[in-house]
A and B are shown apart, each in its own frame.
Chain A
Amino acid sequence: MSLRLSHVRKCFKDDVVLDDVCFDVPAGKTLVLFGPSGAGKTVLLRLIAGVIAPDAGEIRIADRDMAGVEPEDRGIGMAFQNFALFPHLSAMENIASPLTAQRKDKGAIQSGVQKLARLLKIDHVLGHKPKELSNGQKQRTALARALAGAPRVLLLDDPLRNVDAKLRFEMRLELPRLIKDQNATVIYVTQDYKEAMAFGDEIAVINDGQIQQIGTPEDIYLSPANTDIAQLFGDPVINLLDVMPRMGPAGPYAIVSDQHVALSDSHSRVVDKPCVLGLRPEALHFVDERTPGAIPVTVETETPLNEKTVTLAMTARGREIMLSRPAGTPGPKSGPAHIGINEAAALLFDRESKELIPPNGINAAGKVA
């Protein structure tokens, strides 16, 4: 069932927590709501669930206006960040809750719960009360309860936040498949960009109550609408360097530590305007000093992180730059070195508005309503 929000607005007293939120999730697709804490993500989920009402705007599920429709009549399943299990009921009764509401007969409830519990590997603790469950089991119970009623719309509020790193990784791989099997329309809230990229057919980046960009994971990572979004996606964080593009015989270029970095031809319209050059750490690499365009730096620290190695280096002008490379490949640990830039991966932003200046001339934020 499709879900559509148009111009949704919500205030608490004088505080505008959501403003002009519009999006459209086709049936069976997953939209990830990504943003820092306090961005309004949880409020948005509550509006969709119907436990609070919007001040303005419209929420439609399966093309039906939800204004005045009670939460129990919306056909929604929801997993809460804090699990919100019923403490006086067993895991079994918790999961069965949506089924009892649908007045299914006992046998159907039993088999429905058993099937989900086996899938989520909690069938051995169904008799336990929530306080007897580990965090991981609670999280799976909450998820099973959200899925049990075969909801048309599934709202998942950062369900992996309160579980340990190992389980979070396992669930990150398992959950998308589980969701696909349910064939529900999903809104998934997270603060972890890796989860957002792994789960979302589309990602909506929300900040200060407004949607800043909606796009596929590819759109968001490769053409972030502004520097804030560029900084939210990627670990280590993108390098942002103030530059002033110049026009040369071979087209526009930016200057980084006295070396020229070629820009796309369409960037000629921002020549001599203050800009920010965005360089992802993986778009930088160490090169031989004789390589044309090599930028001299001093390596400050090297950090081995599992699958990659991150280096913090300082340019001759005292600008910090972070580089990453696959673990096990050689690179300098300290002292002077030279780096090269993968120019095709360079992003250019307007310094004042912080917005992306797309290389092809098309507005990257074109999908923003």
Chain B
Amino acid sequence: MADTYFGLIWVYQLIVLPLILWIVRGYFEDIPSDIEYAHRIAGHGFWSTFTKIALPLAGPGIAAAGLLAFIFAWNNFIFALVLASADKQPVTVGALAFITASGINYGQIAAGIMLSIAPVFALALYAQRYLVEGLSLGAVKG
């Protein structure tokens, strides 16, 4: 498992899982139980209610959790440093290579950072519309 992508992914998953559970659980709990009851009573089974009602309504929460988890994993340094060798290094560890005995290559570090931000930035832009979408606005009378 050491020095494989699989091992790295597995460890990252372990450290972000509590974060995801904590956020997503809150969103699921915020769905008024009457809305789920209404779907059941209308004649739909438990799984149908989960996929058609609970999942879409918790969508913004899942998107938020996913984004945070991605950023968390992307920026992680310590596990990658310990577990990964040179050819499997993530960007955080890779940037370290620019600090050499002959000096620190600030230009290249800055460029590396810019590149490393790009995917997070793109994902955040994409996920934004799911995040903004209100949870259950107008479903039940406030």
Whether A and B touch directly in their complex, counting CB atoms under 8 A apart, is answered as: yes
Residues of A within 8 A of B (CB): 46, 49-51, 70-72, 74, 76-78, 80, 82-88, 97-98, 101-102, 129-133, 135, 138, 145, 149, 162
Known: A101-B42, A101-B44. A130 touches B57 (CB 8 A): no
- Chain A contacts of B42 at CB under 8 A? 72, 77, 97-98, 101, 145, 149
- Chain A contacts of B56 at CB under 8 A? 88
A88 to chain B: closest residue by CB = B56
- Chain B contacts of A84 at CB under 8 A? 32, 34-35, 37-38, 139-140
B31 to chain A: closest residue by CB = A87
Q: Is B110 at the interface (CB under 8 A from chain A)?
A: no
The number of A-B residue pairs with CB atoms under 8 Å apart is 93
- Chain B contacts of A70 at CB under 8 A? 40, 45-46
- Chain A contacts of B21 at CB under 8 A? none
Question: Is there contact, CB below 8 Å, between A97 and B137?
Answer: no
A82's contact among B44, B45, B53, B141, by CB below 8 Å, is which? B141
- Chain B contacts of A76 at CB under 8 A? 41
Q: List 29 A-B contacts (CB under 8 A).
A: A51-B40, A51-B41, A70-B40, A70-B45, A72-B41, A72-B42, A72-B43, A72-B45, A78-B37, A82-B34, A83-B139, A84-B32, A84-B37, A84-B140, A85-B138, A86-B35, A87-B138, A88-B57, A97-B42, A97-B43, A101-B43, A101-B44, A102-B43, A131-B134, A131-B137, A131-B139, A132-B138, A133-B138, A135-B141
Q: Is B136 at the interface (CB under 8 A from chain A)?
A: yes
Question: Is there contact, CB below 8 Å, between A72 and B40?
Answer: yes
B139 to chain A: closest residue by CB = A87
Scoring A71, A74, A102, A149 by chain B CB atoms within 10 A of each residue's CB, the highest score goes to A71
Known: A51-B37, A131-B137. A87 touches B43 (CB 8 A): no
**What separation, in Å, do the CA atoms of A98 and B43 have in the docked complex?**
6
Question: Is there contact, CB below 8 Å, between A149 and B140?
Answer: no
**What separation, in Å, do the CA atoms of A78 and B135 have in the docked complex?**
23
A157 to chain B: closest residue by CB = B34
**What separation, in Å, do the CA atoms of A84 and B37 have in the docked complex?**
9
- Chain A contacts of B34 at CB under 8 A? 80, 82, 84
**What separation, in Å, do the CA atoms of A51 and B35 have in the docked complex?**
12
Question: Is there contact, CB below 8 Å, between B39 and A49?
Answer: no
CB distance from A134 to the nearest CB of B (A): 11
- Chain A contacts of B37 at CB under 8 A? 46, 49, 51, 71, 78, 80, 84
Per the 8 Å Cβ criterion, residues 30-77 of B in contact with A are: 32-35, 37-46, 48, 53, 56-57
A52 to chain B: closest residue by CB = B37
- Chain A contacts of B140 at CB under 8 A? 80, 82-85
**What separation, in Å, do the CA atoms of A131 and B134 have in the docked complex?**
10
Known: A84-B35, A86-B35. A97 touches B44 (CB 8 A): yes
Scoring B42, B46, B136 by chain A CB atoms within 10 A of each residue's CB, the highest score goes to B42
CB distance from A61 to the nearest CB of B (A): 13
- Chain B contacts of A98 at CB under 8 A? 42-43
**What separation, in Å, do the CA atoms of A78 and B48 have in the docked complex?**
18
CB distance from B36 to the nearest CB of A (A): 8
- Chain A contacts of B135 at CB under 8 A? 87
B53 to chain A: closest residue by CB = A86
- Chain A contacts of B33 at CB under 8 A? 51
Question: Is there contact, CB below 8 Å, between A130 and B138?
Answer: yes
